[in-house]
Amino acid sequence: MPRVLVVGWDGATWTALKPWVDAGLMPNLKKMMEDGVWGELESVIPPVSPVAWPSFATGCNPGRHGVFGFQQFKKDTLEIEIPLGYSIREEKLWQTLSKNGKKSVVMNIQLTFPPDKIDGVIVSGVMAPEVTAHPKEIEEWLKKEGYVIEGSGHMDTPKKEFLQDLYRVTDKRCECAMKLMDKVGWDFFMILISGTDRVQHYLFGEIGRGKYGNAIRDYYIHLDQKLSELREKAGADVVIVMSDHGFCRQEKRVHINNWLEEHGYIKTFDTPENRRARRMVKMSAILKRSGISKIIVRAMQMLGQKPGKVAPPKVKIDYENSKAYTCGYYTGDLYLNRSLSKGEYERVQDEIVGKLRTELRDPKTGELICEKVWKKQEIYHGLQTKYAPDILILPKEPYWITGGFNYPKLIEPIIRETGRHHLMGMYVMSGAGVKKGERINARLIDLNPTILNFFGIKKDVDGKVLKDALKSQSA
């Protein structure tokens, strides 16, 4: 039976990578493309890591695995929760392999805390409060090795220090991965480099210009060398490089709750606390527009403080008297009031979807903001669909739609986080049984059954084996 190595580059996109590959700056990735298949990898909706990685891990759409964002409402309540590993309602790739007598090593994948008890090793990724692994002896070994989950947050750190820490964390992760390849037996090995996501959020808008115009390029060149080292050490029969979503520039943030309030769909309490919070939001906006907030951020950084940890003022929503609202901050997908009658639910859902598609425009340019808008039943299916946001939105570039009441207007110009997630990620696959030199686009959920196929395992998932990418005897 083969051994399979998967190297994840969180948020990697051909928009950035292809020109660097063509220029000969990433020879190892280029060789994999020539020796195998490559293409775009369509993520899921919304294209964010806590939804995308469980979709890869299970091969299922969110309506089956049950994770819908960085935050979501607990079942049948309006209590907000942060999904963790146990929130995933479908069997994961490494669990399936373990049941079939295959050993896995999985490092740093999102929503692997707490770690699954499999025949192999799980090193928890983001959301783990500290270095956590199964089995326990691996956890203790990683701590002694100086392994860390995350480096300095990009919202908290000057660019020079951020980049230094980015390389330090990346090199330590790869070093520990290569040691684990010798330390334990494995059939499937996966390592996720999350620094690609972090650096693109911070610096995507600076690609090709300014002091840090080559920072992302240089980091990927470094990762290309690490890819060569990982491949050589692993000696795997099949190697896959992949991302969970892509990236593009972000120039304007759309505060969808302001639009919902303007149209009467969301209500807030008229309390002194809410009025005070709104005044603070307005003051924050003035500081941002004037440039004073940049000075404050730099001063906090020089003093060793973390501006990204400063919580924005919270305007409390009157959920009972609202018809639609968001959950959390980072994504702006909409939930409808669960107390609506069936007929009213359908009317409100149709009405909001129609308005988002035809009326939600940039006040300055008149441009429509939404690329696509869906009712949840149009893209999700499965037992967990009833807990999903009722309306899902994919914005056009360079917009990103967020929840919360953290800005007094619909559109907020971006001054720091110049990159945001895009639906189209990337993959390259080469090795035994894989065709050579072909471009074949795929979906993120297709990689799960394709990997299982290399081990002769079939499973009922939403993804399909990439038969066009495989030689006939391997499909």
* pLDDT given for residue 286 in this prediction: 76
* pLDDT given for residue 329 in this prediction: 78
Which tens digits make up the pLDDT trace of 102-126?
A: 999 999 999 999 999 999 999 999 9
Q: How many CB atoms lie within 10 A of CB 284?
A: 17
Rounded to an integer, the average pLDDT of 343-352 is 98
User: CA–CA separation, 382 vs 384, rounded Å?
Assistant: 6
- The closest alpha carbon to 458, from 38, 115, 59, 27, belongs to 59
Q: Tell me the torsion sign for CA atoms 291, 400, 205, 174.
A: positive
Comparing 75-89, 147-161, 203-217, the range with the smallest average pLDDT is 147-161
pLDDT band at 473 (very low <50, low <70, confident <90, very high): low
Which tens digits make up the pLDDT trace of 229-245?
A: 999 999 999 999 999 99
Task: State yes or no: pLDDT of 310 exceeds 90.
Answer: no
* pLDDT given for residue 416 in this prediction: 81
* pLDDT given for residue 298 in this prediction: 53
pLDDT band at 76 (very low <50, low <70, confident <90, very high): confident
Rounded to an integer, the average pLDDT of 431-459 is 97
Distances (CA, A) of 104 to 85, 245, 409: 17, 23, 49
Percent of the chain with pLDDT over 70: 93
- The whole-chain average pLDDT of the chain stands at 93
Comparing 154-158, 181-185, 197-201, 293-297, the range with the smallest average pLDDT is 293-297
Task: State yes or no: pLDDT of 300 exceeds 50.
Answer: no
Token representation of residue 404: 């919360």
Rounded to an integer, the average pLDDT of 452-475 is 92
pLDDT band at 277 (very low <50, low <70, confident <90, very high): confident
Percent of the chain with pLDDT over 90: 84
Read out DSSP for 280-342?
A: HHHHHHHHHHHTHHHHHHHHHHHTT--GGGSPPP-PPB-GGG-SEEE-SSS---EEEPTTS-H
Amino acid at 154: H
User: CA–CA separation, 440 vs 345, rounded Å?
Assistant: 40
* pLDDT given for residue 312 in this prediction: 67
User: CA–CA separation, 249 vs 14, rounded Å?
Assistant: 14
For 238, list phi and psi in degrees, rounded to 5.
Answer: -130, 135
Rounded to an integer, the average pLDDT of 385-413 is 95
* pLDDT given for residue 24 in this prediction: 98
Comparing 181-195, 264-278, 345-359, 438-452, the range with the smallest average pLDDT is 264-278
Please, are residues 252 and 244 in contact by the beta-carbon 8 Å criterion? no
Task: State yes or no: pLDDT of 353 exceeds 60.
Answer: yes
Rounded to an integer, the average pLDDT of 289-310 is 53
Q: Which pTM was predicted?
A: 0.94
User: CA–CA separation, 197 vs 12, rounded Å?
Assistant: 7
For 463, list phi and psi in degrees, rounded to 5.
Answer: -70, 160
Distances (CA, A) of 316 to 81, 278, 336, 383: 17, 10, 17, 31
Q: What's the helix, strand, coil split of the chain in %, to 5? A: 40, 20, 40
pLDDT band at 152 (very low <50, low <70, confident <90, very high): confident
- The closest alpha carbon to 267, from 338, 314, 336, 316, belongs to 316
Beta strands in 80-141 (DSSP E): 80-81, 104-107, 120-123, 133-134
Please, are residues 435 and 37 in contact by the beta-carbon 8 Å criterion? yes
For 425, list phi and psi in degrees, rounded to 5.
Answer: -95, -155
* pLDDT given for residue 299 in this prediction: 46
Which residue has better confidence, 151 or 298?
A: 151
Please, are residues 238 and 2 in contact by the beta-carbon 8 Å criterion? yes
